Amino acid sequence: MTKSKVFIAVVCALVLSPGLVLAYPPQPGDSAPDFTLPDTAYVNHSLSDYLGKVVLLNFWQSTCPYCRAELPHLQDLYDDYGDRGFIPIAVNLWEDMAMVKYYAAQYTYLYLRDEGAVWNMYNLNNHIPLNYVIDTLGIVVGSMTGFNESTIRSWIENSLPPVSVSENGIQRAMVGQTITVEPNPTSGPVTIRLNLLSPGNVTVRVYSSSGRLVKDLLSTRLSTGMMRLRWNLTDNNGSPVAPGLYFCKLVNGNTAALLKVSVLR
């Protein structure tokens, strides 16, 4: 059930940063800078671990009342969209891990702790709360200081697969197609199998883990059914791709499917 959408935090608390902003923050359409931070159990998480999901990256401190007011709304968003591939990641700035644990225990989404390095990548104007929505390919959809729930919901919803309502009234993701890659992992050419459950304008593209377009494999209108493609592990310039993690994305009209492909050499 969708929660209240009227909450807006329009005043942001100034962060007294012990560091300096080292680079321009990512803008909509840019790849979100990758990072690795510990959770409350000191297990490291990288942003790239969540490629294939829509991420809300939230920077906060417990001394900021607007940040504290936002945290339960992140839970509302997670409750509404989590089963469709959305995850909030709350990044605490500079506070003791005991403080982070206190707040993390109240919610079910991910809490990480940053000593300033990640903040320096993303800092917009030295104010918190700061929010970024990042799509399934790691591309920034939008960012804001403060929290306008209607805007953030629209960014999330536009980045997730659409939903349909079944006969029993339960929402479910509209898949519309499936995609498989064999072999995977691979050190040589791969076969990509598509199963289109509805006709539409179909594209198949390969992206790097940073969200950069690597290869256009298909762009045409297709009817329902099965088909195969071949990717010889080259980019659009015909050069062999480097070892690493890639994403094969199938788009059919308003629906999409994404699959990780590991390239070995």
What is the fold, at CATH topology level, of the domain defined by 173-263?
A: Immunoglobulin-like (2.60.40)
Give the pLDDT score at 162: 56
pLDDT at 226: 84
Instruction: Quote the pLDDT of residue 164.
Output: 43
Using pLDDT thresholds of 50, 70 and 90, give the confidence band for residue 174: very low
How many residues are recorded in the chain?
Answer: 265
pLDDT at 200 exceeding the cut of 50: yes
- The pLDDT score that the predictor gives to residue 194 is 86
In the chain, CATH 3.40.30.10 covers 8-160
For 225, phi then psi, to 5°, come to 130, -170
Nearest residue to 36 via CA among 117, 129, 124? 117
Residue 202 has pLDDT above 80, yes or no: yes
CATH topology of domain 8-160: Glutaredoxin (3.40.30)
Q: What value does the mean pLDDT take over residues 134-152? A: 91
- The mean predicted confidence, pLDDT, of the chain is 84
**Amino acid identity, residue 7?**
F
Query: Looking at the predicted structure, is the pLDDT value of residue 8 above 60?
Result: no
How is residue 192 written in tokens? Answer: 């990509």
22 pLDDT above the threshold of 50: no
Comparing 97 with 181, the larger pLDDT belongs to 97
Confidence of residue 4 (pLDDT cuts 50, 70, 90): very low
* Rounded distance between C-alpha atoms, residue 180 and residue 204, angstroms: 12
Q: Which of 61, 73, 152 is nearest to 107 (CA)?
A: 73
Q: How far apart are alpha carbons 196 and 192 in whole angstroms?
A: 13
Has residue 60 got a pLDDT over 90?
Answer: yes
Mean pLDDT of 28-33: 88
pLDDT reading at 180 higher than 70: yes
Give 51's pLDDT tier (boundaries 50, 70, 90).
confident
Residues of the chain with CATH 2.60.40.4070: 173-263
Is the pLDDT at 1 greater than 80? The verdict is no
pLDDT per residue over 101-117, tens digit each? 999 999 999 999 999 99
Amino acid at 141: V
